[in-house]
Amino acid sequence: MMAITLDSLRTDKRSALIATAAIGILLAVAPFVVGSALGNSWLRILDFALLYIMLALGLNIVVGFAGLLDMGYIAFYAVGAYLYALLASPHFGLHVPVWIIIPAGAVLAGVAGALLGAPTLRLRGDYLAIVTLGFGEIVRIFMNNLNAPVNITNGPQGISSIDPINMGGITLAKPLTVMGVTIPSLHAYYYLFLALTLLIVFVSIRLEDSRIGRAWVAIREDEIAAKACGINTRNIKLLAFTMGASFGGVAGGLFAGFQGFVSPESFNLMESVMVLCMVVLGGMGHIPGVILGGVMLTVLPEFFRHSAGPIQQALFGKILLDPEALRMLLFGLALVVVMLYRPAGLWPSTIRRREFRNGSASDVLKEGE
């Protein structure tokens, strides 16, 4: 059904316009609705959902388009976040403006991506996964320990009181007044993140349809055939790592400014895994699917967090099970169940779905029972 309506959207200009307008209005009023109906904690979750969408879209370039399994993606988020934290906090006494830091974060993360990509170009699927995973851990361990003998990252304590995002003298940390309308801080961050997310979505869509995007997909489907067709696989793969990483760097910088505090704990392997789950669960290589995955996997654990305690209270009159463990338990179950029933992701692209339906039946191993 979804595919039919989407296809009709693509052909019918008027309904497409209406749909775009509806989505636009929805996105514009979302923080006010969420803020007043559910409170500020959910508004923060909404802001984080946008950050995670940026990350998921970045990883989608590497995993979804180019088919390179990257399990250390959070390292680039960390690079962006730490760059912001070091350049705009009392830690070094530096207060570099945000429009220098965020692009610098994108560039630095992109360089880190290329540095990771270069030695791993020859590796096949799962070997690449473990090397990228190792890279992510190396970055985290360095951040955890670079407080001696020279204190650079302040070790496990992390860096605190980071400058809030501040644009042209307007700080987002305090409520903004624009033309008589007061916009609270969380809302202002929401609009900033939304703007950047839309930019990243736009770049992703344009990349997907470009010569480079098609080269990525060609490499994903068959690297040797892609090479034979004259694609410079080395450069194109490096480009995938670099582009994906730079999205992560941007999201990381925003995260540091938003949170006001970074520590190595925010960048552990579980976070990488989470972003990977967003991409795969949503529908690899399909931008709307990845966005859906990002929203779901940010909101779901928080929903369980807010409901695991009270529901037990209501049902049994007391809290029987540790709500924190229960919430992750339910989350794990949700991952398994979704994948069992929708192995190609929640919202896969039409091409992929078609492929999956007439998958290679010749392989007896895959016949299952």
Partner 1 sequence: MDIFIQQIINGLVLGSIYALVALGYTMVYGIMGLINFAHGEVVMIGAMVALFVIKALAGLPVFVTLPLALAAAAGVCMAVGFTIERVAYRPLRRAPKLAPLITAIGVSIILQNLAMLIWGRNYHAFPPILPTSDHEIFGATITSLQIVIIVIAALMMAGLTLLVQRTRLGRAMRATSENPPIAQLMGVNINQIISATFVIGSALAAVAGLMVSANYSIAHYYMGFMLGLKAFTAAVLGGIGNLAGAMLGGILLGIIESLGAGYIGDLTGGFLGSHYQDIFAFFVLIGVLIFRPSGLIGERIAERA
Q: Which of 27, 96, 176, 273 binds partner 1 (CB under 8 A)?
A: 273
Q: Are 350 and 3 in contact (CB under 8 A)?
A: yes
Q: Is 62 one of the binding residues for partner 1 (CB under 8 A)?
A: no
Which of positions 8-47 make contact with partner 1 (CB under 8 A)?
A: none
Q: Which residues lie closer than 8 Å to 310 by C-beta, 6 or more apart?
A: none
Report the C-alpha dihedral over residues 95, 267, 345, 30, rounded to 10 degrees: -40
Q: Which of 15-23, 26-34, 124-132, 250-258 is the region at the interface with partner 1 (rule: CB under 8 A)?
A: 124-132
SS3 284: coil
285: region left, alpha or beta (phi > 0 left; psi from -120 to 50 alpha): left
Size of the site for partner 1 (CB under 8 A): 61
Q: Is 321 one of the binding residues for partner 1 (CB under 8 A)?
A: yes
Site string for partner 1, 340-359 (x = CB under 8 A): x--xx-------x---x--x
Q: Is 149 one of the binding residues for partner 1 (CB under 8 A)?
A: yes
Q: Which is nearer to partner 1, 196 or 276 (CB)?
A: 276
Q: Are 209 and 287 in contact (CB under 8 A)?
A: no
Q: Is 152 one of the binding residues for partner 1 (CB under 8 A)?
A: no
> H or E element: which one contains 171?
strand 170-171
Which of positions 160-219 make contact with partner 1 (CB under 8 A)?
A: none
Minimal distance in Å, beta carbon 122 to partner 1?
A: 5
Buried b (16+ CB within 10 A) or exposed e, 85-99: bbbbbebeeeeeebe
Q: Which of 25, 38, 167, 333 binds partner 1 (CB under 8 A)?
A: 333
Q: Is 73 one of the binding residues for partner 1 (CB under 8 A)?
A: no
Cα 233 vs. chain centroid, distance in angstroms?
Answer: 25
Q: Which of 81, 86, 65 is nearest to 205 (CA)?
A: 65
Q: How many angstroms separate the CA atoms of 308 and 233, rounded? A: 48
Q: How many angstroms separate the CA atoms of 103 and 228, rounded? A: 36
Q: Which is nearer to partner 1, 314 or 340 (CB)?
A: 340
Amino acid letter, 157: Q
Q: Which of 57, 277, 291, 308 binds partner 1 (CB under 8 A)?
A: 277
Minimal distance in Å, beta carbon 145 to partner 1?
A: 6
Q: Which of 32-40, 82-90, 193-201, 276-284 is the region at the interface with partner 1 (rule: CB under 8 A)?
A: 276-284
Minimal distance in Å, beta carbon 320 to partner 1?
A: 10
SS3 97: coil
Q: Which of 86-94, 163-171, 255-263, 319-327 is the region at the interface with partner 1 (rule: CB under 8 A)?
A: 319-327
Q: Are 237 and 244 in contact (CB under 8 A)?
A: no
For residue 233, the tally of other CB atoms under 10 A from its CB is 16
Q: Are 121 and 238 in contact (CB under 8 A)?
A: yes
Which of positions 213-242 make contact with partner 1 (CB under 8 A)?
A: 222-224
Q: Which of 54, 101, 129, 162 binds partner 1 (CB under 8 A)?
A: 129
Q: Which of 13, 14, 124, 318 binds partner 1 (CB under 8 A)?
A: 124
Q: Which is nearer to partner 1, 106 or 279 (CB)?
A: 279
Q: Are 320 and 304 in contact (CB under 8 A)?
A: no
Q: Is 137 one of the binding residues for partner 1 (CB under 8 A)?
A: yes
Q: How many angstroms separate the CA atoms of 64 and 293, rounded? A: 13
Residues at the contact surface with partner 1, assessed by CB under 8 A = 63, 69, 119-120, 122-127, 129-131, 133-135, 137-138, 141-142, 144-145, 148-149, 222-224, 269, 273, 276-277, 280-281, 284, 321-322, 325-326, 328-329, 331-336, 339-340, 343-344, 352, 356, 359, 362-369
